[in-house]
């Protein structure tokens, strides 16, 4: 008995099956696991760059898998569909959570669980805050923002280095009208120097949340290195004892009084002092890293990466900050000095109001762009509803994303004035102006949970070493 023949398979059929399976796997991977997204605009700058003026468009790796098993968390950078323009995919930072009230006030975020509760300031996890700091160094690295205001006869200032021989005090950006929310703060130097920005909100708002970090190499006769951070009429004095100091604990002292930006002495009635638990004096001839900051109504002093003293402080009415640095005794070398400001959220980019708030129901979120001066996000999303008659006499009622001059847009049907209106699902409607009845604009700040597709994990492109641009980083 002969062995039955195995049915033959045509090569073209095998190729089609293999190709089909590859497409199915690729689609499943794209829609359910990972996706690559190109950043088209500047709403998340400088965290994510989408800058046509210099031809830089970040490519971002998006994690979609985790969102199938958990809800998004505050401050994650998420990818989602626009709530009133579903065909449009956006990338923003999630800042408002379900079941709370969210407020933007004086550049900061505040929340409360209900209308009967007090507002509390929202603080970011440290990895997120590191992305939020905006470096204040000038675009030209050869210039310096520091200038002597007292003593300092033997001092030399070079960019971000101070060679302090003898006692003296220097101020950061002396003579300016305060530290403001300059548009290009925090931008990579190679990008910032090629940008000319015209923005009505740039330099408009004073910023009080500041950070200074660097290295100190003290001389044998150094008594102390002192940093003064001021905000409104409050001054915070951070004192690090030197080798010649009698006191052996770093301190933070503060009291109200004086004028904004003025250096005050740290003694007098009403003074409050926080003393570090551990003893520490700057060693002679050895480099020590330090940092001081005033952030979200909390002040802190760091030495070699450890927070040695901190305190909660009362909010001020005007976030107007100043920064100065003082050396007492024989002198010290200060290198790698870098000043930062916190992101300043503009409450209402259209009107310039300092306060904006919204209630967030269950299952919804609020999104803001890191480019607070130029981002279309929850603060200004507005929908428009039109009720109109189609040419065949049917009456329709459609909602869409209202963008001045773009949606709706003017046109004609024949010789008759008409409107073109794209609804939230991307469908375009034409109707004669006489046949359309617009309703009032409605503020639409909320993103439903089902529209959130994934979390931006990392930037992996562009890499342009010949231009000094390497966009390669994890996102927080």
Average of per-residue pLDDT across 368-382: 91
In which band, very low, low, confident or very high, does the pLDDT at 344 lie, cut at 50, 70 and 90?
very high
Can 92 be counted among the known catalytic residues? yes
In which band, very low, low, confident or very high, does the pLDDT at 163 lie, cut at 50, 70 and 90?
very high
Q: Count the alpha carbons within 13 Å of 344 in the hemisphere toward its beta carbon.
A: 30
Task: Catalytic residue, from 64, 92, 266, 375: name it.
Answer: 92
Digit-coded pLDDT (tens) for 136-145:
975 566 678 8
Say which residue, 8 or 58, is predicted with more confidence.
58
**Residue 22 predicted with pLDDT over 90:** no
Can 3 be counted among the known catalytic residues? no
Q: Is 2.130.10.10 the CATH classification of the domain at 134-174+206-341?
A: no
Backbone angle region of 151, left / alpha / beta, with phi > 0 → left and psi within -120 to 50 → alpha: left
Digit-coded pLDDT (tens) for 327-337:
999 999 999 99
pLDDT for res 263 = 39
pLDDT for res 33 = 55
Say which residue, 7 or 345, is predicted with more confidence.
345
Rounded alpha-carbon distances, angstroms, from residue 323 to 210, 227, 229, 260, 450: 8, 7, 5, 10, 45
For the chain, give the percent of residues with pLDDT over 70: 86
Rounded alpha-carbon distances, angstroms, from residue 134 to 130, 320, 338: 9, 16, 10
**Residue 433 predicted with pLDDT over 80:** no
Q: Where are the domains of the chain?
A: 134-174+206-341, 382-443
Digit-coded pLDDT (tens) for 193-238:
878 776 666 778 899 999 999 999 999 999 999 999 999 888 999 9
**Residue 129 predicted with pLDDT over 60:** yes
Average of per-residue pLDDT across 169-195: 85
Cβ proximity of 463 and 472 under 8 Å:
yes
In which band, very low, low, confident or very high, does the pLDDT at 316 lie, cut at 50, 70 and 90?
confident
Say which residue, 473 or 3, is predicted with more confidence.
473
Task: Catalytic residue, from 43, 330, 375, 378: name it.
Answer: 43
Say which residue, 14 or 232, is predicted with more confidence.
232
Structure tokens at 16: 């089609």
pLDDT for res 351 = 66
pLDDT for res 341 = 96
**Residue 241 predicted with pLDDT over 90:** yes
Average of per-residue pLDDT across 392-401: 84
Structure tokens at 434: 């006489």
**Residue 287 predicted with pLDDT over 70:** yes
Structure tokens at 221: 């006769």
Cβ proximity of 338 and 218 under 8 Å:
no
Radius of gyration of the chain (CA): 28
Structure tokens at 6: 């195995």
Longest dimension (CA), the chain: 113
**Residue 260 predicted with pLDDT over 60:** no
Q: Minimal CA–CA distance to 216: which of 294, 304, 125, 311? A: 304
Burial of 161 (0-12, 13-18, 19+ CB in 10 A): middle
In which band, very low, low, confident or very high, does the pLDDT at 359 lie, cut at 50, 70 and 90?
very high
Average of per-residue pLDDT across 41-50: 92
**Average predicted confidence (pLDDT) for the chain:** 85
The span from the CA of 424 to the CA of 399, in Å, is: 6
**Residue 177 predicted with pLDDT over 80:** no
Average of per-residue pLDDT across 415-424: 87
């Amino acid at each position: 008995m002969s062995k039955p023949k195995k049915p033959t398979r045509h090569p073209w059929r095998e190729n089609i099956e293999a190709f089909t399976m590859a497409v199915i796997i690729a689609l499943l991977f794209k829609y359910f696991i990972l996706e690559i997204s190109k950043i088209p605009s500047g709403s998340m700058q400088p965290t994510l760059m989408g800058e046509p003026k210099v031809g830089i468009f970040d490519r971002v790796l998006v994690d979609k898998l985790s969102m199938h098993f958990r809800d998004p968390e505050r401050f994650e950078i998420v990818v989602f569909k626009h709530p009133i323009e579903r065909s449009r995919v956006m990338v923003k930072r999630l800042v408002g959570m379900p079941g709370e009230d969210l407020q933007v006030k004086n550049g900061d975020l505040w929340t409360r669980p209900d209308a009967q509760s007090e507002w509390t300031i929202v603080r970011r996890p440290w990895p997120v805050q590191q992305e939020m700091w905006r470096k204040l160094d000038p675009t030209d690295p050869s210039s310096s923002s520091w200038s002597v205001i007292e003593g300092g006869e033997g001092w030399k200032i070079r960019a971000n280095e101070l060679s302090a021989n003898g006692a003296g005090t220097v101020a950061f950006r002396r003579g300016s009208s305060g530290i403001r929310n300059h548009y290009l703060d925090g931008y990579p130097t190679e990008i910032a120097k090629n940008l000319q920005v015209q923005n009505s909100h740039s330099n408009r708002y004073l910023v009080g949340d500041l950070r200074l970090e660097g290295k100190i190499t003290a001389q044998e006769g150094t008594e102390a290195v002192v940093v003064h951070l001021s905000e409104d009429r409050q001054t915070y004095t951070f004192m690090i004892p030197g080798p010649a100091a009698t006191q052996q604990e770093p301190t933070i002292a503060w009291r109200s009084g004086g004028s904004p930006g003025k250096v005050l002495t740290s003694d007098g009635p009403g003074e409050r002092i926080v003393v570090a638990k551990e003893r520490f004096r700057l060693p002679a001839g050895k480099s020590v890293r330090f940092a001081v900051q005033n952030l979200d109504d909390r002040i802190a002093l760091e030495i070699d990466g450890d927070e040695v003293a901190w305190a909660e402080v009362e909010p001020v009415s005007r976030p107007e900050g100043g920064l100065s640095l003082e050396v007492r005794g024989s002198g010290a070398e200060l290198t790698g000095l870098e000043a930062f400001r916190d992101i300043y959220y503009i409450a209402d980019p259209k009107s310039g109001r300092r306060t904006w708030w919204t209630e967030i129901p269950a299952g919804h979120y609020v999104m803001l762009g890191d480019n607070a001066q130029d981002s279309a996000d929850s603060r200004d999303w507005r929908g428009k509803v039109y009720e109109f008659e189609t040419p065949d006499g049917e009456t329709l009622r459609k909602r869409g994303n209202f963008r001045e001059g773009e949606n709706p847009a003017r046109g004609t049907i024949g010789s008759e004035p008409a409107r073109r209106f794209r609804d939230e699902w991307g469908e375009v409607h034409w109707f004669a102006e006489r046949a359309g009845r617009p309703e009032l604009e409605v503020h639409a700040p909320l993103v439903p949970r089902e529209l959130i597709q994934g979390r931006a994990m990392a930037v992996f492109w562009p890499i342009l070493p010949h231009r000094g641009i390497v966009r390669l980083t994890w996102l927080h």
